[in-house]
Structure 1
Amino acid sequence: MARKNLLSGLGGSELPAGNLNRPVVALTEMMTPTASANFGGARGAIGAVTRSIEQLKANAIQDIPTEAIDPSFISDRIGFDEANYDDLVESMRTHGQQVPILVRPHPEKEGRFQVAYGHRRLRAAVELQRPVRAIVKKLSDDELVIAQGQENNARTDLSFIERARFAASLEQRGFERTTIMAALFVDKSGLSRLISAATKIPPDIIDAIGPAPKTGRDRWVALAANLESETSLAAVRTMISDEKMSAASSDDRFNILFSAAVLKKTKTAKPRAEPAAWVAPDGKTVARIQDDKKLCTVAIDKKVAPEFGAFLIESLPDLYAAFLGRESK
């Protein structure tokens, strides 16, 4: 599916998440129809230079006071990675902020801005007590979440459950699925799996686990299935306050709660009843019958009555007709 990449032309061909020890060249070719008309549709080298200058004017990097910037209206993170953040702060302290963040004029607050992406760089700038370097671009809500999602996909460091919660949160806010698909680079089935995983697991359990970067979709789906049992859900919520959780990594916290859910479900599962034997008038055990809420299974012992199974199958239409006739009386 072809998608418009809103990240192109926002400060270079690639915008990594962190800081770089080299300057970023912000010359790209993004030309609006109006700008093209103003310059007479210039082509060739002169046209390229003209378009580059026009783009620089449109998306010039600015130093903005951090107190004038608000976060995005939707979060794409669960928890906070202190170790990587500390590295970012030291890099910006030593080398300055090499990669700008992307903001838009705040849609509701005059004179303020709202982040599309770059929250960690903004937080680092606040800590370092310096303005943040930013590209200011007018974005609709749809364009903001697509830019936010695409930038995270380019970094490939969001975990499965972070992507899942981001997708579910966007849908809860009323965004069309086509917009969410563009933001996360997924197709319809992939988006359905993400949203399903995030909505079937209670938010307090996701928060207790955290991003779990090494835990993939299948494990989260399995956890959701186990939590359908009320006893398993209660056991997991009890385990959240266990001291093992506070000292464990996010992936280990997932494993602790997953084990609690599976163990409780196994202990509380009702044992399957033994099949009942059907004994023919001649004293032979011809069949065994397993009857529960979902199925009634009749197993014919071919050693005892080798032809009876085939006869029973052939007789099913007549037996069913007789059953319907009895029900209609």
Structure 2
Amino acid sequence: MKRKDALRAALGARSLDRETAPELPAGNPAEAVEAPPEAPRPLVRSGAVGAMGRSLGRIASAAAEARAMVASGDRVVELDPALIDGSFVQDRLTGDPAEHAAFVELIRERGQQVPILVRPHPSAEGRYQVAYGHRRLRAAAELGRPVRAVVKALSDEDLVVAQGQENSARADLSYIERALFAIALEDRGFDRATIMAALAVEKTQLSRLLGIGRAVPAALVAAVGPAPKAGRPRWTALVEALARDGAGEVVTRILAAPDFSGLSSDDRFARLLAGLAVPASRPAPTPAVWTNLGGRPVVRIERGRQGTQLTVDDALEPDFAAYLIQSLPQLYATFTESRTRDETD
């Protein structure tokens, strides 16, 4: 059995929802809304206080959205949350319960300052479908309140672009959530131009998202969660690790650990990636040699579990070691800049 088949057998095959999306009816009578005041910038801490701070920050950053809606002449109506369905394509995994609870509490205390965007439902008369604002809708439903919304007639393409760009503008989706969103759009038949517009990415970035998202089994993503701190390089490393012999058995063992589900999403990702590392029992790699333009073996490179060692042959290049040491600050600055760029791809 191939490695990929063995891994899928261990975790379960990916299944994607292929429901069909409809169109919307007219909205309720509209009422004008004043632009909400800016919320104070919070001090973010860990735990429940940190969750409250992050929710405050998102509400503050969304105030401009509400003002833009008013400035463009859009009107806000109050709708029964029970009449509103989610988007036909999912854009996020299960969130942090503590953060959601803090968000609901803010809505309870401050009210819903930023309207959501909906369209009349394409196939269910009298109902609506969300373009963005799923968390605000869920909070209003839990509080038993009507939700304030802008109702617009949107095509399927308009809806997914609005949905994706709203999340991209707030840097609200993790890397793997963006990858799964891209896959869901592609599987529903949207062209690459629409998907790139929805995610505000270029062609190369979209190809990476699709490649990584399709290489990780759905059951594994569901078990790990959004892993908000894991960017493209770490997901790429995980994909490479999953291709190794015996990866399926290792993943099954890690996911079955009694304490695994109690970890944060980022910690679950870290444990999985560490567990899939090359076993210590494997033989040490043969040292590599870097040669200069003249073909002389100037640097011996040895990589092991404890680190990487460079040995410069002073007899061949007497001044190179000193030059290398002096250049370390500049080399590290270049490395840091490239890594930051990769994390945002």
Percent identical across equivalent pairs? 47
**2:71 match: secondary structure:** coil
How far apart, in 1, do the equivalents of 2:258 and 2:175 lie? 26
Question: How many residue pairs get matched?
Answer: 233
Q: CA deviation at 1:27?
A: 3.1
CA-to-partner distance for each residue in 1:51-79, whole Å, 9 max, x for gaps? Answer: xxxx3xxx321100011000111111111
**1:115 match: secondary structure:** strand
How far apart, in 2, do the equivalents of 1:235 and 1:89 lie? 38
How far apart, in 2, do the equivalents of 1:182 and 1:192 lie? 14
Corresponding residue number in structure 2 for 1:141: 156
| 2:218 maps to 1:175 | no
Corresponding residue number in structure 1 for 2:71: 28
Q: Larger RCO: Structure 1 or Structure 2 (Cα < 8 Å, ≥ 6 residues apart)? A: 2
| 2:250 maps to 1:207 | no
| 2:244 maps to 1:238 | no
Corresponding residue number in structure 1 for 2:130: 115
How do 1:267-282 and structure 2 match up within 5 A? none
How far apart, in 1, do the equivalents of 2:35 and 2:154 lie? 18
**2:157 match: secondary structure:** helix
Q: CA deviation at 1:11?
A: 9.6
Corresponding residue number in structure 2 for 1:45: none
CA-to-partner distance for each residue in 1:236-272, whole Å, 9 max, x for gaps? Answer: 12211112312211111111111222245x65x6899
| 2:130 maps to 1:125 | no
Corresponding residue number in structure 1 for 2:113: 98
How far apart, in 2, do the equivalents of 1:22 and 1:135 lie? 15
Corresponding residue number in structure 2 for 1:250: 265
Q: CA deviation at 1:83?
A: 2.2
Matched AA of 1:193: R
Corresponding residue number in structure 2 for 1:321: none
Matched AA of 1:137: K
CA-to-partner distance for each residue in 1:6-39, whole Å, 9 max, x for gaps? Answer: xxxx9979x999545989544324xxxxxxxxxx
Corresponding residue number in structure 2 for 1:189: 204
| TM value normalised by structure 1 | 0.65
| 2:122 maps to 1:79 | no
Matched AA of 1:132: V
Matched AA of 1:163: R
Corresponding residue number in structure 1 for 2:312: none
Q: Extract unaligned runs of 5+ from structure 1.
A: 1-9, 30-54, 274-329
**2:234 match: secondary structure:** helix
Matched AA of 1:229: R
How do 1:13-24 and structure 2 match up within 5 A? 18-19=58-59, 24=66
Matched AA of 2:89: I
2:76, 2:149 within 8 Å by CA — same for their partners in 1?
yes
